[in-house]
Amino acid sequence: MTAGRERGLAALLCAAGAGLVLLAAGRPWATVRARDSITPFVQDLTGRDLGGAASALAWAGLAALAALFATRGRVRAGVGALLVIFGAGIGYASVAAVRRSHVLTAAGDRRALLQGLSAHPAVDVGAWWTISVAGAVLLVAAGLLTLVRGARWPGMSARYERQGAARPSAPGKAPDDSSSLWKSLDRGEDPTAEERRP
């Protein structure tokens, strides 16, 4: 696999992982039911209701996606390490969010009402939190791939950089650079005239 394709694969894993986490965050992760209370009720809690850490880390992962293209060398390796940390944090936050004690705490004032009525709420955990964990795994994979192989990937501006030595300037003229080109234009000179001469 070429370096460009490896970078593309890492970017795809990163985008898919962060996307899955953000998608799952808006879906119900747990349901609290209290059938034996004076006023029975059902409360659905989304991933955001149970904590915003996973969503925040997913947005950070999307920001790191841009850095995969804009950086190179050790800085890109640092981006890979951050992706691994973001993914691990999302996985931990997702698992911790669906613990019974945490779900009941997130239920807030209704939980206090249930306790006052001596009710025994039931907590049903859905499958959406596992989608968030799957997204976390993809982010970790993108980070590890970047750590191991990212040093050989091209940078965003590599195709625009000059290859080899600088172009020699005409005799009696200063070497090509931006300031000398602008100065020649200010004087009314055509900086490409020398190149067009046979």
> Are residues 11 and 74 both part of a single domain?
yes
> Are residues 103 and 179 both part of a single domain?
no
Which residue from 47, 10, 6, 26 is spatially nearest to 140, judged by alpha carbons?
A: 10
Quick check: is 65 in a domain?
yes
pLDDT the model gives residue 99: 92
> Are residues 93 and 189 both part of a single domain?
no
Quick check: is 109 in a domain?
yes
> Are residues 175 and 98 both part of a single domain?
no
Residue 39 domain boundaries: 3-156
The rounded radius of gyration (Å) of the Cα atoms in the chain is 28
> Are residues 34 and 126 both part of a single domain?
yes
Q: Are 129 and 98 in contact (CB under 8 A)?
A: yes
- Lowest mean pLDDT segment, chosen from 11-20, 90-99, 100-109, 115-124: 115-124
Q: Are 125 and 38 in contact (CB under 8 A)?
A: no
Quick check: is 130 in a domain?
yes
> Are residues 107 and 12 both part of a single domain?
yes
pTM here is 0.70
How far, in Å, CA of 46 to CA of 159, rounded? 45
> Are residues 184 and 137 both part of a single domain?
no
Residue 180: pLDDT over 90: no
Quick check: is 145 in a domain?
yes
Reported as a pLDDT band with limits 50, 70 and 90, residue 113 is low
> Are residues 104 and 48 both part of a single domain?
yes
Quick check: is 162 in a domain?
no
Quick check: is 182 in a domain?
yes
Q: What is the pLDDT of residues 11-70, one digit of tens each?
A: 999 999 999 999 999 999 998 887 766 666 788 889 998 888 999 999 999 999 888 888
Please state the domain count of the chain: 2
> Are residues 21 and 96 both part of a single domain?
yes
Residue with more model confidence, 91 or 159:
91
DSSP 92-107: HHHHHHTSHHHHHHHT
CATH number at residue 130: 1.20.140.150
> Are residues 129 and 184 both part of a single domain?
no
> Are residues 140 and 69 both part of a single domain?
yes
> Are residues 114 and 184 both part of a single domain?
no
